[in-house]
């Protein structure tokens, strides 16, 4: 099989059984966008304005609903309307990191009921595979997908080496629900035993820490360009936050910046799939 | 200096500068309890009933406020009243696990405003030290304390070996705010360089996965007894959940079970501090 690095998103959509993975790849192909916007603001009004302005240019909106001061569940309904209108996938970046029984409750219940509305969520592999089982017991029947944090973009991250290998093994053992990784490069074949056939696997790689210039934020975040991420490292979705919505949340500026990131990300993808 | 293993909680309270660490150790000594109850229920009414019934026997109440279906902020006020009436410390087991900028928002803002009311919270060290800096920027001015997850009690946990060592180094570099660990044993001196003086350090060890019988829950959680945890492994606080409140949430039964765990945990501590 051709490596996922060289396949189109449309080709890869056919190889995925998980509905959330399929939806994301089809959306990317349809919109010609591998851009995700990460919306980390504390007021619902700003949140919705940013999503509405960036929505036409992104395949996915990444949320942290737990930073919203004035959250109530009607926000979720508004987000779902925008998701339909602008055709994007929703990814609550919850970074679950507890034992199986607890994450199952955190995912299904509470104020946020994340499993009800977020097509994709993510988890740290650190508790061991019970975290995947706990989340899967809630998410799989709903057609949801999970990303594991195999690497982080922060300075001094401990998600390296054997930790990353274990994350990939955990994903490989739960391919019905784990659709890919938060990582800085492709994970195909990492940590595989000689008798496994990692050439058949296709994990989606979603990559934070993307900026038009490489630099940092003073809080340990490090940035790479869309071209470095998609072409050099073979990642699939570039995740951009403040680089799109800045600090003033102006719709025209947001749209213009999102369009620019979308174009850069897509150009890198076209170059990648044209290469052999 | 005598090892923290052999010191009384009262002696150790004098060695801590952090207000949350001091409060916890003083509370343990005053109540003669090293028992924490972990309350993972989805209804506020049950939550408050359990806290009220177990409150007299515990030094600390561990919460997961994000699993409560009917959370509103008045619950926090009720919890704070119970904390004063029954004299216990509050620990929101949030397991922060994101980059510095995001965890600072998650800790201070949103619906839960954890930093406003939780004396202690915890974080995974996996993102690198930016997570401690982000949380510290919010919690230190409020006199809060942080525990790092150096180990987990689940099967297949990746928090082992060099990961655990890095967690301890990260704590050692931020001793004003990091007061100890979620772990299964003492961490004193782990990962220390030869020229460091780890004998001066005193990290609190809070230990989940405690039951009166050693066994598991079918979701990857593994249990050890209070004696194994406090005497054999030198941990400071035993964390018990369902073992105290069961599935029927009967106040008399909860009180009786909490009292039994408290007695077992304290006996192990007395035996430990009497040994040389």
Question: What's the mean per-residue pLDDT of chain B?
Answer: 94
Chain A interface includes B67 (CB < 8 A): yes
Q: Do A128 and B99 touch (CB under 8 A)?
A: no
The catalytic position among B32, B87, B95, B133 is B95
Chain A interface includes B112 (CB < 8 A): yes
Euclidean distance between CA atoms B260 and B246, whole angstroms? 14
* Residue B182 bridge partners (DSSP): B149, B206
pLDDT in tens, A186-203: 999 899 988 886 777 999
Q: Tell me what the mean pLDDT of segment A77-98 comes to.
A: 98
Q: How many CA atoms lie within 13 A of B187 on its CB side?
A: 33
Asked if residue A217 has pLDDT above 70, the reply is no
Contact between A150 and A122 (Cβ < 8 Å) = no
Euclidean distance between CA atoms B132 and B123, whole angstroms? 8
Euclidean distance between CA atoms B166 and B160, whole angstroms? 10
Asked if residue B219 has pLDDT above 70, the reply is no
pLDDT at residue B275, rounded to an integer? 81
Query: Which residues of A are part of the catalytic machinery?
Result: 93, 95, 98
pLDDT at residue A193, rounded to an integer? 86
A120's enclosing H/E stretch is strand A120-123
The Cα of B17 is separated from the nearest Cα of chain A by a number of Å equal to 25
pLDDT at residue A214, rounded to an integer? 64
Q: Do A102 and B155 touch (CB under 8 A)?
A: no
Chain A interface includes B216 (CB < 8 A): no
pLDDT at residue B212, rounded to an integer? 87
All residues at 6 or more sequence positions from A189 whose CB lies less than 8 Å from its CB, including other chains = A198, A199, A201
Q: How confident is the model at residue A1 (pLDDT cuts 50, 70, 90)?
A: low
Residue B117's alpha-carbon distances to A70, A85, B65, B136, in angstroms, are: 18, 40, 12, 15
Answer yes or no: is A221 a known binding residue: yes
* Percent of chain A whose predicted confidence (pLDDT) is above 70: 96
Chain B interface includes A158 (CB < 8 A): yes
Chain A interface includes B181 (CB < 8 A): no
Q: Tell me what the mean pLDDT of segment A57-79 comes to.
A: 97
Pairing outcome for strands B145-149 and B120-123: parallel
- Looking at per-residue confidence, does B152 or A153 come out higher? B152
SS3 at position A180: strand
- Which is the CATH superfamily of the domain at B9-274? Aldolase class I (3.20.20.70)
Euclidean distance between CA atoms A114 and A145, whole angstroms? 12
Q: How confident is the model at residue A219 (pLDDT cuts 50, 70, 90)?
A: low
The Cα of A124 is separated from the nearest Cα of chain B by a number of Å equal to 8
Closest CA to B99 of A204, A181, A163, A217: A217
Q: Do B166 and A158 touch (CB under 8 A)?
A: yes
Euclidean distance between CA atoms A59 and A246, whole angstroms? 20
What are the backbone dihedrals phi and psi of residue B96, each rounded to the nearest 5 degrees, phi first?
-55, 145
What are the backbone dihedrals phi and psi of residue B146, each rounded to the nearest 5 degrees, phi first?
-120, 140
What are the backbone dihedrals phi and psi of residue A115, each rounded to the nearest 5 degrees, phi first?
-60, -25
Q: Tell me what the mean pLDDT of segment B165-178 comes to.
A: 97
Q: Between residues 126 and 145 of chain A, which touch chain B (CB distance below 8 Å)?
A: 126-131, 133-134
pLDDT at residue A116, rounded to an integer? 98
Burial class for A99, CB neighbours closer than 10 Å (0-12, 13-18, 19+) = buried
pLDDT at residue B200, rounded to an integer? 79
Q: Tell me what the mean pLDDT of segment B134-159 comes to.
A: 96
Contacts with A154 from chain B: Cβ below 8 Å:
99-100, 127-128, 130-131
Q: Do A98 and B95 touch (CB under 8 A)?
A: yes
Q: Do B220 and A40 touch (CB under 8 A)?
A: no
Asked if residue B5 has pLDDT above 80, the reply is yes
**Sign of the dihedral defined by the CA atoms of residues A57, A55, A106, A18, in that order:** negative
pLDDT at residue B153, rounded to an integer? 83
Contacts with A131 from chain B: Cβ below 8 Å:
154
pLDDT in tens, A124-152: 999 999 999 999 999 999 999 999 999 99
All residues at 6 or more sequence positions from A83 whose CB lies less than 8 Å from its CB, including other chains = A61, A89, A90
Predicted ipTM?
0.94
Q: Do A99 and B40 touch (CB under 8 A)?
A: no
* End-to-end Cα, chain B, rounded Å: 13
Chain B interface includes A264 (CB < 8 A): no
pLDDT in tens, B33-73: 999 999 999 999 999 999 999 999 999 999 999 999 999 99
Question: What's the mean per-residue pLDDT of chain A?
Answer: 94
SS3 at position B240: strand
Answer yes or no: is B62 a known binding residue: yes
Q: What pTM did the predictor assign?
A: 0.95
């Amino acid at each position: 099989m051709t490596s996922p690095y060289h396949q189109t998103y449309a080709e890869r959509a056919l190889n995925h059984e998980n509905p959330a993975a399929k939806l994301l790849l089809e959306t990317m192909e349809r919109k010609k966008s591998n851009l995700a916007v990460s919306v980390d603001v504390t007021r619902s009004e700003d949140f919705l304005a940013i999503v509405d302005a960036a929505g036409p240019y992104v395949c996915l909106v990444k949320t942290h609903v737990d930073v919203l001061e004035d959250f109530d569940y009607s926000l979720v309904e508004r987000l779902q309307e925008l998701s339909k209108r602008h055709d994007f996938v929703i990814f609550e970046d919850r970074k679950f990191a507890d034992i199986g029984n607890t994450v199952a409750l955190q995912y299904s219940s509470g104020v946020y009921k994340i499993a009800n509305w977020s097509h994709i969520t993510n988890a740290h592999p650190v508790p061991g595979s019970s975290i995947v089982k706990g989340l899967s017991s809630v998410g799989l029947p709903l057609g949801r997908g999970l990303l594991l944090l195999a690497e982080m973009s922060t300075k001094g991250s401990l998600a390296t080496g054997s930790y990353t290998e274990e994350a990939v093994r955990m994903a490989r053992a739960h391919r019905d629900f784990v659709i890919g990784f938060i990582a800085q490069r492709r994970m195909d074949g990492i940590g595989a035993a000689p008798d496994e056939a990692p050439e058949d696997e296709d994990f989606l790689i979603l990559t934070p820490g993307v900026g038009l210039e490489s630099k940092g934020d003073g809080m340990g975040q490090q940035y790479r360009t869309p071209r470095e991420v998609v072409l050099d490292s073979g990642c699939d979705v570039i995740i951009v936050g403040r680089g799109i919505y800045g600090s003033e949340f102006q719709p025209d500026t947001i749209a213009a910046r999102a369009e620019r990131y979308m174009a850069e990300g897509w150009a890198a993808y076209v170059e990648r799939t044209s290469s052999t």
